[in-house]
Amino acid sequence: MSSIAPDGPLMNIVIRMVVPLRREFGRHLNVSQFMQDPTYARNVLAEALGSNDARLRDYAQYVNSRMMGARISAPPTVAAAPAVDTPAAAPEAPSADPTEEELRARVLRKYTTGLR
């Protein structure tokens, strides 16, 4: 394995590895050296693959697969943050003769749903 060819998505993932490596291992990742020196890249990836951070391990597996295998592969999956807003409930069909509670619920619903 000679030097790694400059690849936009690959370099993007390597740059994303900088902060988690510094936080967990105290290691400063030199991206340009990583892209040029295969030995340095292997050492960094070995350390990242042993991480407690699942995101860093996913990044390392993706970079490792791109370095050793095919140049085209799917980017790593990053867990989506849980949604803050709950989906709005389907509107109820208005009854012919609504009670006072139903009317009050309709009025209050205007203030608790929708965009503000």
Evaluate if residue 1 carries a pLDDT over 50: no
Q: Give 47's contacts (C-beta < 8 A, 6+ positions apart).
A: 21, 25, 27
Which pLDDT does position 71 carry in this prediction? 53
Which percentage of the chain shows pLDDT scores above 70? 66
The string of pLDDT tens digits covering residues 16-34 is 999 999 998 898 999 999 9
Say what the pTM is: 0.54
pLDDT tens per residue across span 47-72: 999 989 899 999 999 988 887 665 55
What is the pLDDT confidence band of residue 5, given thresholds at 50, 70 and 90? low
3-state SS, the chain, equals CCCCCCCHHHHHHHHHCHHHHHHHHCCCCCHHHHHHCHHHHHHHHHHHHCCCCHHHHHHHHHHHHHHHCCCCCCCCCCCCCCCCCCCCCCCCCCCCCCCHHHHHHHHHHHHHCCCC
